[in-house]
Amino acid sequence: MTFVGKILVIVIMAFALMFLGISTVVFSTAANWKAAHAAEKQKVDDLSKKNNDALASIESLKKDVAKSKAEHEAVKKTLDNQVATLQEDIKRIQGENTAARGEVGTAQMNAKTALEEADARRKETEQLREQKLAVEDQANKFKLRQAELIDNIRILTRELQVAKKNADDLRERSAKFSSVLRSHGLSDDISQVKGLESPPAVHGEVARIDAKNRVELTIGSDDGLVVGHELYLWRLKPRPEYLGKVRIIRVDPDQAVGQVIGTTVQGKKIKEGDIVSSTFRSGPRS
């Protein structure tokens, strides 16, 4: 056999071996594919079952989700209502808090005012206590003074009884003196009597005269005149001359009425403007 033939034999044998290997591989592969197909089919069946179970679970979950969603909506609605109620409560509470703060402020002001009033009352109480002590001390002094006054009252009562007896005696004597004075045509007015005892220094004029020789004078009780005073009548023009006397029979504050006593000197008539004076001469001779 030639070298080429040997090579070809080797090549043929190589190809034969190669084909044998390929056939073996193909056979093995075909057997493995069948087992693999069965295994994969089993897997597919398992996956289909799992898929169906998953779909059923999904449907169940969808129902659960829908139910949960409905429950969630109901809960949400309930919570929204509760939130709205809570918000109203919060607004109400805020209003109440605002009102409470106002009341607290008012209460604080009232408390402050009450404290100030209490402090004022305390000070007033202290003052009243001091005043009470002073009054009690004064009352004790008054009691002592009262005892003294009671003793003085007893003494004065006895003196008053004596004075009343003396006054009764004096009234009886005064009545007798008044009766005697009136019986002699004299006034019992003590002011007139005192006035007559010390006539004032006056100067006036005759304002008017009537037919009964009564003259109205320009001076009166404001000048010290009383009923019973006697004044001198003078005429200064054309020369000073004495005319007579006049007795006061009525007095007013700014005027008086007098009665000419007896007759005038040489029977001269009294004229308006004539002078009346408490002194014998009213002025120097011209």
Residue 248 lies in a domain: yes
Q: Is residue 212 part of a domain?
A: yes
Is 31 a member of any domain? no
Does residue 163 lie in a domain region? Answer: no
Residue 261 lies in a domain: yes
241: domain CATH number is: 2.40.10.410
Which among 230, 227, 228, 243 has a CA at the least distance from the CA of 275?
Answer: 243
High-pLDDT (> 90) share of the chain, %: 21
Is a pLDDT exceeding 70 seen at residue 194? no
Joined together, the tokens standing for residue 203 give: 């100067």
Query: Is the predicted pLDDT of residue 12 greater than 70, yes or no?
Result: yes
Show the DSSP H helices in 184-231 as ranges: 190-197
**Full residue range of the structural domain in which residue 239 is found:** 200-277
DSSP conformation letters of 47-105: HHHHHHHHHHHHHHHHHHHHHHHHHHHHHHHHHHHHHHHHHHHHHHHHHHHHHHHHHHH
Number of domains in the chain: 1
pTM over 0.85: no
pLDDT tens for each residue of 232-241: 999 988 888 9
> Of 226, 216, 221, which Cα lies nearest the Cα of 270?
216
The mean of the pLDDT values for the chain is: 83
Look at residue 217 and tell me if it is in a domain: yes
Residue 266 falls inside a structural domain: yes
pLDDT band at 209 (very low <50, low <70, confident <90, very high): very high
Do residues 270 and 263 make contact, with C-beta atoms less than 8 angstroms apart? no
Encode pLDDT of 241-286 as tens digits.
Answer: 999 999 999 999 999 999 999 889 988 899 999 999 988 654 444 3
Instruction: Quick: pLDDT tens for 38-60.
Output: 777 787 788 778 778 877 877 88
Q: 245 lies in a domain?
A: yes
The dihedral through the CA atoms of 251, 257, 260, 266 has a sign that is: positive
Radius of gyration, alpha carbons of the chain: 77
